[in-house]
Structures are given as structure tokens and as C-alpha cells.
């Protein structure tokens, strides 16, 4: 029998929890009233204003109510970046149902796992994923409603556009209220045992938390303003709703103000009051255009996109060639729309972007910042991009799907050292951080290794996994903290120097691959005696998934045959890019793989 769970096991209570101001439906209604004719989304030649987007989200919400979908029912959304993806998300949210993200690159068994684990009663998906859904739909008794985006409408399914056309565009009326305390998102991320884990979010922590991400990610930029070239300051004023005076930001007064912890904490709190307010929506109208090249079903793009929508009502721009990534379309999109920011995931995007920028001359003077998270961008690629535009900033962000924290390191054309990812440790404030010894729970001293923990706006736990929840969400000195898994040291100036993640996670092109999952599949091959999987450094992908295999006696396999065996059993990014054959794998006396030794072995053999 499948595990059961209830949001009541996670629910938190807040002083203003009965309100709906920190729900996605509430934010959308406010934006649509203040900026009705401002362009909300662009994809190719298609544009939609906030008023019309809100009406289409209403149509989706009312259509779901007609299907008897109720508060807290889970509705999965499977697809690459699109305006329809966003309409679906906001429509589901308006009625208090819970969106569930699914990676469209998953094979049928992976899709089935998430639908089953989330207890989803409906799925909205693109016709490119029809084959995956057809293979598993009869094995999912709870999945009653299938809405397909595209031209096809197979028997037993509903067409997306036809469904919206038959529904009404007025604000949905329910017999329940959607509040800040309600279940608002079941966000699936990776899990150390293989399959993804669902992180549980209420409206307060998700919406208010994404407001706070904009602050914690922007505060390093505010502190850096005095050292930026004039071109970057011009870009800041064109992008952000509240312009700054060049004379003011280069003054000693401004430098002292933003670097004093007590004063900066006050600045953060004032900023949090402004974000999502009518005043800021009005001031920000039309100033920020954000190109989201990374996929919305992952944390990097989702968090950046939704934080800027909820906080400032920005214009979001999606590519028409969503997968594989097309750098030429990206730069053409920036040029045509005079875009200000781009969201990517490390070198998997940045390398082809730089190559294309040097191959052809594009007008990117409107571009203020490239935001990257999930995988660090290599210094050499950063320098190539910065050399093309003296006013460009590159923001390397460190965060986690389970938290509402994102910390930035900013690189500009005038910086000499852009190699080390460092974030300022802030023990107080909206989203505080500590680096602790996991055993003693005490803060590490400068130079000592420790684990980064986040306070502030965090998810409520892992769906159907109380043991993992208890392990990663812990109370220290009366406050709840999330143990991220990122390891590093703290220097004398209070900066966290990121070293790596102390687990079996392989980070390849921004995708999380868990070694155990790939190993389990490899071990099912009839000719494989033992298998270990690790990541090795790769210029483009950050890390390349590498399989180290011991074959059974007299077995004869080639690396290509192993890779082909994996093809139908896992998403493409999880498949080993390299296969190495050995006589034995490094295992401890208890039989556990020694991960560090495995990585060293792979490096030696390559």
C-alpha cells in the first residue's frame, strides 16, 4: 500500500495566517489591477498583458472546479517553459489546489513515481509527453483528469485550449478560502535514495520567502554598487524600480550604511515591506524584462522568475526552442526585446552563449545581469562574457530548493578575482545563515570545515518522509534551520567559502543526479557484477556522470552497450557519459562504496 500523508502534519500558524495576501492568487489579482495593460509574458511573437493573463488563469481555475478539484488536491504540471505552464500554475493556485512540478525529460517510471507519490488527481502536460503518460495512466487510479497542451486530444483526455474556451473568466468562487497558511506547492527535488523528494510549502513561506530571495540575492549587489563601473550603474537604474544617484552610491556614507550589519538588517526589513506592495508594482512597471533560459520545473528558474513576478510584476520572456538550448535564439530574444536579465544554469548554458556571442555580433547593451545557479560558471567563461559588455554583471547564486534563501557573488568587468564562490554569513535578519559543525551544532571557527544551514523562510518538510524531514530540518537554540549539505570554511571576514556538497550528488548541467539511482539500474544488468557512479570535472557540464563497472566473469560488454542499456531506463541527463571497467571497486568493510576513493579512481583512469 502506498504511503499516506496529510498537510496537517506540516501546517504552521502565523499571526496573519487568515489573510490571502501571501498567496499566488492574491498576488496575481493585485498585479492585474495595478498593471492591467503591462506585458506579463512574451514567448516568440506571442505576448499577453497582466489583465488577460489573469482572466485565462481564472478560466483554468474555474475549469478545475468544474472537474470537482478541491482545496489541497494535487495537480501536476509537466512541460518546458511556456505561458501555458504559468497559466496552469496560477489557475491551480487560485482555488487552493497544489501544483506539482514534473520534469518532462523523465522516463515513464519516473513520471509515475511523482504522480503516485504526490497523489495527483490531475495532470496538465504537453503533447510531446503523451507517450510517457499513455504508458502509465492505467496504473494510477487517483489520476482522473488529463489535460493536454497541443493539437492532439486522445480519448479520455481534455484539450487545454478547448477547456479554457468552455470555462468562464470571472474570479473563481469556492466554498473555502485560500490563505497564507494553506498548502501551496509540492516542489519535487532530488533525493539521496534516488527518486525525487517532494518539498512541502505553504503560502507564507513560499510567497513571502521568494520576496526575501530578491533581498538576499540583491544585497551583495547593493554593497557592490560603489565599486561598479558607470555602465553597470546605468544598467541598474534601467532595471530596478528605484534609481540610485551615482554620486550617492560612491560616497563613504553609502558604503558605511550598507556594510553595517545593524543598518543593513533595517534596510532588508524595509525592503521586505515594499516587495509585493502596490507602490513597488507601480514604480517597477515595465522596467525589468527577464529571459528565463533555464527550465521552470527546476529551482533556479522557478525561484528567480516567481520572486521577481511576486515582488515587482516584471515581464517574463521564454524561448520558443526550449530544449535543446539554442544560444542564437537567446541572444536574438535579448536584442529584440531589449531584455535586462537572463537566468541560466552554469556552463551548460554559458559556454554556448559565449561561443555564439563571439561568432556573431549582437546588440546586448540592454543586458544588465546574467543570473546563474545550480552549477557555478567557470572563471574563463565569465571573463569572455564580461569582455563583450563592460556594464554586464554576472551573479553566481547559492541556494537550495528546500529554502527561500539565495546568496549572490557578483562579478563585473573590473573585478580581478572571479574564481572563488563566497557568500557573507549573516547570523541575523530575514534569511540568516550559519556554518556549523553538524555534530556539535556550534558555529565553526575561521578555517574550519563546516556545513551551511539556512534559517528564515524554509519549506515545511519532505512529503511522506518524516525521517528525512527530521534529519534536515532541525531546531538550534529555539530556531528552525535547514541543513543544506553544502560544505566549506568561514574566513576571518565572515565569508563562507564553498567547497562542495558532502553527498553522492552529481551536478551535471544544473540537473541533480544521485549516484545510487543510476547504480541500482546498472546493477540490474545481467552481466554487471558491481557498479559505482561518480562525477568527474567537465568543462561544459560542471560534472560528467561516470560509471565504474566490474563485469561478471567471462562477460563482454562495451561502454556504448552500457550507455544504450540505460537509455530507456532513466532521463538522458542521468545516463553515464563515460563508462570505465575495473577489477574491483573501493568498498568499506561494511560493503559501502567509498565515494571519495571512487572519484579518485575515475580521475586516475581517465
Mean pLDDT in order along the chain per 10 residues (606 residues): 87 94 97 97 98 98 98 98 98 98 93 97 98 97 98 96 98 97 92 73 96 87 90 92 90 84 72 91 92 94 96 97 95 98 90 94 96 79 92 89 85 79 75 86 88 92 95 89 86 80 77 83 90 91 94 92 93 94 78 81 92
Q: Cα dist. 280→24, 221, 240, 313, 350 in Å?
A: 17, 19, 10, 9, 32
Residue 23 shares a structural domain with residue 155: yes
Q: According to the 3-state scheme, what is the secondary structure of 515-535?
A: HHHHHHHHCCCCCEEEEEEEE
152 Cβ contact partners less than 8 Å away, ≥ 6 residues apart: 127, 130
Domain boundary among 181, 214, 231: 181
Residue 261 shares a structural domain with residue 172: no
Residue 265 shares a structural domain with residue 387: yes
Q: How confident is the model at residue 421, as a pLDDT?
A: 66
Cell numbers standing for residue 583 = 577489477
Provide the 3-class DSSP secondary structure of residue 517: helix
Contact 580, 545 (CB under 8 A): no
Residue 39 shares a structural domain with residue 176: yes
Asked if residue 399 belongs to a domain, the reply is yes
Asked if residue 373 belongs to a domain, the reply is yes
Residue 173 shares a structural domain with residue 213: no
CATH number of the domain residue 375 falls in: 3.40.50.980
pTM of the predicted model as reported, rounded to 2 decimal places: 0.88
Closest among 209, 286, 280, 322 to 50, alpha carbons compared = 286
Cell numbers standing for residue 558 = 562495451
Asked if residue 559 belongs to a domain, the reply is yes
Q: How confident is the model at residue 156, as a pLDDT?
A: 95
- Pairing between β-strand 98-102 and β-strand 473-476 as defined by DSSP bridges: unpaired
Parent domain of 30: 11-181
Q: How confident is the model at residue 420, as a pLDDT?
A: 60
| Other CB atoms within 10 Å distance of the CB of residue 431 | 24
Q: How confident is the model at residue 536, as a pLDDT?
A: 93
Q: How confident is the model at residue 316, as a pLDDT?
A: 98
Asked if residue 464 belongs to a domain, the reply is no
Q: What are phi and psi of 160, to 5 degrees?
A: -55, -55
Whole-angstrom Cα distance, residue 92 to residue 101? 12
CATH number of the domain residue 171 falls in: 3.40.50.12780
Residue 19 shares a structural domain with residue 107: yes
Q: How confident is the model at residue 375, as a pLDDT?
A: 65
Asked if residue 589 belongs to a domain, the reply is yes
Residue 168 shares a structural domain with residue 49: yes
Whole-angstrom Cα distance, residue 341 to residue 393? 10
Residue 136 shares a structural domain with residue 276: no
Q: How confident is the model at residue 191, as a pLDDT?
A: 43
Residue 69 shares a structural domain with residue 170: yes
Closest among 596, 594, 601 to 578, alpha carbons compared = 601
Asked if residue 51 belongs to a domain, the reply is yes
Domain boundary among 164, 181, 198: 181
Residue 240 shares a structural domain with residue 286: yes
Asked if residue 109 belongs to a domain, the reply is yes
Domain boundary among 392, 420, 448: 420
Asked if residue 599 belongs to a domain, the reply is yes
Q: How many domains does the chain have?
A: 3
Residue 269 shares a structural domain with residue 122: no
Residue 241 shares a structural domain with residue 382: yes
Q: How confident is the model at residue 582, as a pLDDT?
A: 96
Amino acid at each position: 500500500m502506498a504511503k499516506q500523508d496529510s498537510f496537517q502534519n506540516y501546517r504552521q500558524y502565523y499571526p496573519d495566517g487568515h489573510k490571502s495576501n501571501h498567496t499566488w492568487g492574491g498576488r496575481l489579482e493585485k498585479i492585474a489591477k495595478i498593471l492591467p495593460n503591462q506585458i506579463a509574458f512574451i514567448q516568440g511573437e506571442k505576448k499577453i498583458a497582466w489583465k488577460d493573463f489573469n482572466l485565462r488563469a481564472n478560466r483554468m481555475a474555474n475549469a478545475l472546479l468544474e472537474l470537482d478539484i478541491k482545496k489541497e488536491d494535487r495537480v501536476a504540471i509537466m512541460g518546458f517553459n511556456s505561458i501555458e505552464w504559468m497559466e496552469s500554475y496560477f489557475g491551480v493556485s487560485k482555488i487552493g489546489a497544489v501544483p506539482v512540478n514534473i520534469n518532462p525529460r523523465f522516463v515513464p517510471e519516473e513520471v509515475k513515481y511523482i504522480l503516485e507519490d504526490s497523489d495527483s488527481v490531475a495532470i496538465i502536460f504537453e503533447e510531446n509527453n503523451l507517450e510517457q503518460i499513455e504508458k502509465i495512466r492505467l496504473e494510477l487510479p487517483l489520476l482522473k483528469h488529463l489535460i493536454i497542451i497541443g493539437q492532439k486530444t486522445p480519448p479520455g483526455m481534455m484539450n487545454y485550449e478547448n477547456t479554457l474556451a468552455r470555462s468562464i473568466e470571472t474570479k473563481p468562487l469556492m466554498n473555502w478560502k485560500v490563505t497564507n497558511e494553506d498548502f501551496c506547492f509540492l516542489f519535487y527535488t532530488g533525493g539521496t535514495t534516488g527518486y525525487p523528494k517532494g518539498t512541502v510549502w505553504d503560502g507564507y513561506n513560499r510567497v513571502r520567502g521568494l520576496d526575501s530571495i530578491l533581498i538576499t540575492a540583491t544585497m551583495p549587489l547593493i554593497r557592490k554598487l560603489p565599486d561598479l563601473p558607470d555602465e553597470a550603474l546605468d544598467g541598474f537604474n534601467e532595471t530596478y524600480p528605484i534609481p540610485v544617484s551615482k554620486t550617492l552610491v560612491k560616497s563613504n556614507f553609502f558604503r558605511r550604511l550598507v556594510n553595517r550589519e545593524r543598518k543593513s538588517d533595517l534596510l532588508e526589513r524595509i525592503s521586505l515591506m515594499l516587495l509585493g506592495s502596490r507602490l513597488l508594482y507601480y514604480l517597477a512597471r515595465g522596467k525589468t524584462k527577464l529571459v528565463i533560459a533555464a527550465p521552470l520545473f527546476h529551482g533556479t528558474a522557478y525561484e528567480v522568475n516567481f520572486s521577481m513576478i511576486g515582488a515587482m510584476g516584471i515581464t517574463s520572456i521564454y524561448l520558443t526552442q526550449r530544449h535543446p538550448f539554442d544560444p542564437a535564439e537567446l541572444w536574438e530574444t535579448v536584442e529584440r526585446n531589449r531584455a535586462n536579465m537572463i537566468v541560466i544554469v552554469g556552463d551548460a548554458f554559458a559556454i554556448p552563449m559565449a561561443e555564439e556571442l563571439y561568432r556573431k555580433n549582437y546588440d546586448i547593451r540592454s543586458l544588465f545581469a546574467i543570473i546563474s545557479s545550480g552549477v557555478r560558471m567557470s572563471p574563463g567563461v565569465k571573463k569572455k562574457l564580461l569582455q563583450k559588455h563592460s556594464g554586464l554583471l554576472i551573479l553566481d547564486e547559492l541556494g537550495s530548493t528546500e529554502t527561500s534563501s539565495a546568496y549572490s557573488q557578483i562579478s563585473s568587468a573590473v573585478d580581478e578575482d572571479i574564481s572563488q564562490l563566497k557568500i557573507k554569513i549573516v547570523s541575523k535578519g530575514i534569511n540568516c545563515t550559519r556554518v556549523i559543525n553538524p555534530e556539535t551544532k556550534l558555529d565553526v571557527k575561521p578555517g574550519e570545515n563546516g556545513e551551511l544551514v539556512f534559517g528564515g523562510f524554509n519549506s515545511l518538510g519532505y512529503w511522506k518522509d518524516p525521517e528525512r524531514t527530521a534529519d534536515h530540518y532541525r531546531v538550534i537554540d529555539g530556531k528552525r534551520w535547514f541543513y543544506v549539505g553544502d560544505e566549506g570554511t568561514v574566513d576571518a571576514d565572515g565569508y563562507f567559502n564553498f567547497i562542495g556538497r558532502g553527498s553522492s550528488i552529481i551536478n551535471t548541467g544544473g540537473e541533480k543526479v544521485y549516484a545510487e539511482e543510476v547504480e541500482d539500474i546498472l546493477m540490474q544488468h545481467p552481466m554487471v557484477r558491481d557498479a559505482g557512479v561518480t562525477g568527474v570535472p567537465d568543462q561544459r557540464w560542471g560534472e560528467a556522470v561516470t560509471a565504474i563497472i566490474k563485469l561478471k566473469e567471462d562477460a563482454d560488454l562495451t561502454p556504448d552497450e552500457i550507455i544504450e542499456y540505460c537509455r530507456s531506463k532513466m532521463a538522458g541527463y542521468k545516463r553515464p557519459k563515460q563508462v570505465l571497467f575495473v577489477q574491483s571497486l573501493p568498498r568499506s568493510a561494511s560493503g559501502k562504496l567509498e565515494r571519495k576513493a571512487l572519484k579518485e579512481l575515475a580521475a586516475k583512469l581517465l
